[in-house]
Chain A
Amino acid sequence: MGELKLMKGNEAVAEAAIRAGVDAYFGYPITPQSEVMEYLAAEQPHKRTGMVLLQAESEIAAINMVYGAASTGKKAMTSSSSPGISLKMEGISYLAGAELPCVVVNVVRGGPGLGTIQPSQADYFQATKGGGHGDYHMLVLAPASVQEMSDFVKLGFDLAFKYRNPVMILSDGVIGQMMEKVELFDPIPRCTEFNEEWMLTGKTADREKRVVTSLDLDSAKMEKHNLDLVAKYKKMQENEVRYEEFQVEDAEYLFVAYGCSARICQKTVKIAREMGHKVGLLRPITLYPYPSKRLNELADRLKGILSVELNSGQMIEDVKLAVNGKTKVEHYGRMGGMIHSPEQVLCAFEEFLLK
């Protein structure tokens, strides 16, 4: 068993970055995720692994530092919270266009605008539908525990390099700020070989020059590039869908929830079952690609689905697309940094699905 520690979700991200052999972290302070950079600063990762840590002058600068480092094949990451992620969106679009790997962590807070520093899941659309300009997707992982905050940094980089695509870890103020037991994975050394043909390492006489760009003024070529991206996203849909199920076997009703809402719903399932309601929970772990197939299968025998999210109803659109009218789909969620309690979810279930 790996080392056991009690950590905040944000600290687990930072420790995992060092252990995952990340080459560079670039950040800018924002609540509720500042502990990521603070933990790294205290740990002095350059002494532990040689990892670079830099506080940038803005989120725009930070994501472009990631872009630069990623162009050379380095494992680069950044983290922020909602307003800062909006600023990074331009850069993320360029990373996706240039097919560069990186991990971006969003510890979501309530919006729009400056909003609130309290937890929220209001950035679901931004994360899963592109977020920046142009036709692209990030691969989106949604941790529901401090353990997953750690594990998904490593998984995130594996996927980012496998698909040469930005990966977002879509967390929230609850998972970022809470402490739980984490089993830390064994450190993996930083990569020292940069021999894939897209990585900029300096042109030598024995090879052609390499270019990292998202630009192509020839529309036919650009369309070909778009089609390649589409094919890549299709592959992700075939191979990378991840989800977890609780008490779904005999369920008549289903909660669909991710991140902190999934944790809350787990408790609601328990209370509801004690009351005799056959309820289960499906927790998407990847939000893009989405577990649509599984939901569609389940919909055949469900009396109704409640999409529980800390927003005004964003993921519910993916749930509805997945079940395609086969069963009733309703939404419940608090906003503005308010968090639903398990009992409130139960009331919503009774009101929207049982009545």
Chain B
Amino acid sequence: MDVKDIIKPENLVYERTKNLTDKALSYCPGCGHGVVHRLTMEVLEELQITQDTIGVASVGCSVLAYEFMNIDMTQAPHGRATAAATGIKRCWPDKYVFTYQGDGDLAAIGTAETIHSCNRGENFTVIFINNGIYGMTGGQMAPTTLPGMKSSTTPYGREVELMGNPIKMTELVAQLPGTYYVTRQSVHTPANVRKAKKAIRIAFENQKLNKGLSFVEIVSNCNSGWKMTPVDSNIWMEENMFPFYPLGDIKVNGELVTK
């Protein structure tokens, strides 16, 4: 049997979604961004809403998301993605709208936009990649950087007394009446990938209900910024990020989940 026999259409078990372009991802090998791109695009295809979806890329490593996502997208200034999404959704209430943002973008420079979009109950989806660092600019401290964690602007570790505390944006927006679904996921194991995909799916389906904003945080690795191998970065993430940013649903159907 040669390769040609193996790659026959009837043997096909998996196909890349048409919602991703042929362009090679520009992310570092091992980075979580690529997986979340794929999941988001698969969900649009499965829900058959690609033709009705408009995405908003932010500023961060995923600034070029529109090169990889084969859908209509705009690219917002740093931190302003949810404001741009508000503009789109208010003009096109029947469209599916989402933002794709990093922690620097969403939880530092864009805090005001994030909080007010959530609080207004804008009826779109936020995909929030929390890797605890500014990946794009070379590994500076992010608002989510853990206490003691090293970055290029905290070379001796984050000192909370001087640099402030890491912010749990997801818990924070869950308190706001405008959010309808708030969850925290990860994509570092196959099981987690499946859960994360389900969460993204719900977050898009919710837009039909018109009941408020759906917010999906993905705790992810930045092996380059953390200066680790991809495998080590995933272990480090489990041991350090998850205790501080626990996985699971925080608000479902507009109700806070009690644990």
Interface of A with B (CB < 8 Å)?
A: 28-31, 34, 37-38, 41-42, 44, 46, 54-55, 57-60, 83, 113-114
| B138 x A55 contact (CB < 8 A) | no
| A83 x B153 contact (CB < 8 A) | no
Return chain A residues, CB-CB under 8 Å to B136: 31
| A29 x B134 contact (CB < 8 A) | yes
| B108 x A38 contact (CB < 8 A) | no
Return chain A residues, CB-CB under 8 Å to B63: 114
**CB of B222 to closest CB in A, whole Å:** 14
Return chain B residues, CB-CB under 8 Å to A59: 109
B19 beta carbon closer than 8 Å to chain A? no
| A114 x B75 contact (CB < 8 A) | yes
Among A44, A46, A114, point to the contact of B77 (Cβ < 8 A): A114
Return chain A residues, CB-CB under 8 Å to B108: 28, 57-58
Q: Which residue of A lies closest to B78 (CB)?
A: A83
Return chain A residues, CB-CB under 8 Å to B104: 29
Q: When chains A and B are docked, how far (Å) is the Cα of A113 from the Cα of B75? A: 10
| A42 x B138 contact (CB < 8 A) | no
| B109 x A38 contact (CB < 8 A) | no
| A55 x B137 contact (CB < 8 A) | no
A/B interface sample: 29 pairs, CB < 8 A: A28-B108, A29-B104, A29-B137, A29-B138, A29-B140, A29-B153, A31-B137, A31-B138, A34-B137, A34-B152, A37-B140, A38-B140, A38-B153, A41-B152, A41-B153, A42-B155, A44-B156, A55-B163, A57-B108, A57-B109, A57-B143, A58-B79, A58-B108, A60-B109, A83-B78, A113-B77, A114-B63, A114-B75, A114-B77
Q: Quick one: CB contact mask for B126-157 with A, threshold 8 Å, 1 for yes? A: 00000000101110110100000000111110
Q: A58-B109, A114-B63, A114-B77 are in contact. Are A41 and B138 (CB under 8 A)?
A: no
Return chain B residues, CB-CB under 8 Å to A38: 140, 152-153, 155
Return chain B residues, CB-CB under 8 Å to A58: 78-79, 108-109
| A41 x B155 contact (CB < 8 A) | yes
B175 beta carbon closer than 8 Å to chain A? no
In the complex, the 5 A-B pairs of residues with the closest C-beta atoms, listed nearest first: A58-B109, A29-B140, A57-B108, A29-B137, A41-B153
Interface of B with A (CB < 8 Å)?
A: 59, 63, 75, 77-79, 104, 108-109, 111, 134, 136-138, 140-141, 143, 152-156, 162-163
Return chain A residues, CB-CB under 8 Å to B162: 46, 54
**CB of B152 to closest CB in A, whole Å:** 5
Return chain B residues, CB-CB under 8 Å to A31: 136-138
**CB of B193 to closest CB in A, whole Å:** 30
**CB of B79 to closest CB in A, whole Å:** 6
**CB of B146 to closest CB in A, whole Å:** 15
Return chain B residues, CB-CB under 8 Å to A34: 137-138, 140, 152
| A30 x B137 contact (CB < 8 A) | yes
**CB of B196 to closest CB in A, whole Å:** 27
Q: When chains A and B are docked, how far (Å) is the Cα of A60 from the Cα of B141? A: 18
| A57 x B111 contact (CB < 8 A) | yes
Return chain B residues, CB-CB under 8 Å to A42: 155
**CB of B112 to closest CB in A, whole Å:** 9
Q: When chains A and B are docked, how far (Å) is the Cα of A54 from the Cα of B140? A: 12
Return chain B residues, CB-CB under 8 Å to A83: 77-78
Return chain B residues, CB-CB under 8 Å to A41: 152-155
**CB of A18 to closest CB in B, whole Å:** 16
**CB of B166 to closest CB in A, whole Å:** 13
Return chain B residues, CB-CB under 8 Å to A44: 156
Q: When chains A and B are docked, how far (Å) is the Cα of A28 from the Cα of B111? A: 14
Return chain B residues, CB-CB under 8 Å to A114: 59, 63, 75, 77
Q: Which residue of A lies closest to B152 (CB)?
A: A38
Return chain A residues, CB-CB under 8 Å to B154: 41
Q: When chains A and B are docked, how far (Å) is the Cα of A114 from the Cα of B60? A: 11
**CB of A316 to closest CB in B, whole Å:** 29
Q: Which residue of B lies closest to A37 (CB)?
A: B153
Return chain A residues, CB-CB under 8 Å to B138: 29, 31, 34
Q: When chains A and B are docked, how far (Å) is the Cα of A28 from the Cα of B138? A: 13
**CB of B6 to closest CB in A, whole Å:** 44
**CB of A196 to closest CB in B, whole Å:** 30
Q: When chains A and B are docked, how far (Å) is the Cα of A59 from the Cα of B138? A: 18
